[in-house]
Chains A and B, each alone.
Chain A
Amino acid sequence: SQQGEEDPQALSIQEGENATMNCSYKTSINNLQWYRQNSGRGLVHLILIRSNEREKHSGRLRVTLDTSKKSSSLLITASRAADTASYFCATGTIQGAQKLVFGQGTRLTINP
């Protein structure tokens, strides 16, 4: 079974609003990563957070990690139409940090 599960499965907001997606996982991790997938394309890496980190920022992205709850969140601030995509969390375990296990993704739609 998959390691990560994302919530919500779909999210639709207005341009300029903030979007928050959540990810839960089951086993101990080495790192957690977020990826974006535009329709019909491959996945693109957004941000990586290590298991000993609690928060990380990259531009309009903010990722938090709570290892006690086995959960992470991705916040996109001031959303743009170009942010419309599917977002996936992926976890690397202690036994296999590079062998990423993906969640089912959140489909984000930004309405103009």
Chain B
Amino acid sequence: DAGITQSPRYKITETGRQVTLMCHQTWSHSYMFWYRQDLGHGLRLIYYSAAADITDKGEVPDGYVVSRSKTENFPLTLESATRSQTSVYFCASSGTGGPYTEAFFGQGTRLTVV
């Protein structure tokens, strides 16, 4: 199915464990993004990617690692999960229609670190 999908939808992990959130899009969009959503903070950008093998930090990158070996995939890894990383994570993508393009969001991954 066309679109942007995230997996898993829900994840519970323990402090100190490594966890990877997956994001896959079928539009061949150039740009992909990871946001986290917390009460009182809205959405904050963690990392983004302008193309395969090109990634850059957003507003809150500490504790996260990303990679983009293929255009369609943009996994987000928490190397050693902490309770402060409990959040809802959204992946998004946008195309190459110049600077005036909308972003398409996945359904989100609710991560709980215990």
Task: Spell out A's residues near B (CB within 8 Å).
Answer: 2, 30-31, 33, 35, 40-45, 48, 50, 88, 90, 92, 97-105
Contacts and interface: CB of A to CB of B under 8 A. Distances in A.
Contacts of B50: 98
A2 B41 CA distance: 8
Contact of B43 (A30, A98, A102): A102
Given A30-B99, A98-B31, A98-B94, A88 B106 contact: no
Contacts, number: 63
Nearest to A100: B103
Interface of B: 31, 33, 35, 40-45, 48, 50, 58-59, 90, 92, 94, 98-108
> Which of A88, A92, A99 has the most chain B CB within a 10 Å cutoff?
A99
B45 A101 contact: yes
B25 to A, nearest CB: 12
Tell me the interface secondary structure of chain A in the complex. strand
A42 B102 contact: no
Given A42-B107, A98-B99, A103 B45 contact: no
A101 B99 CA distance: 14
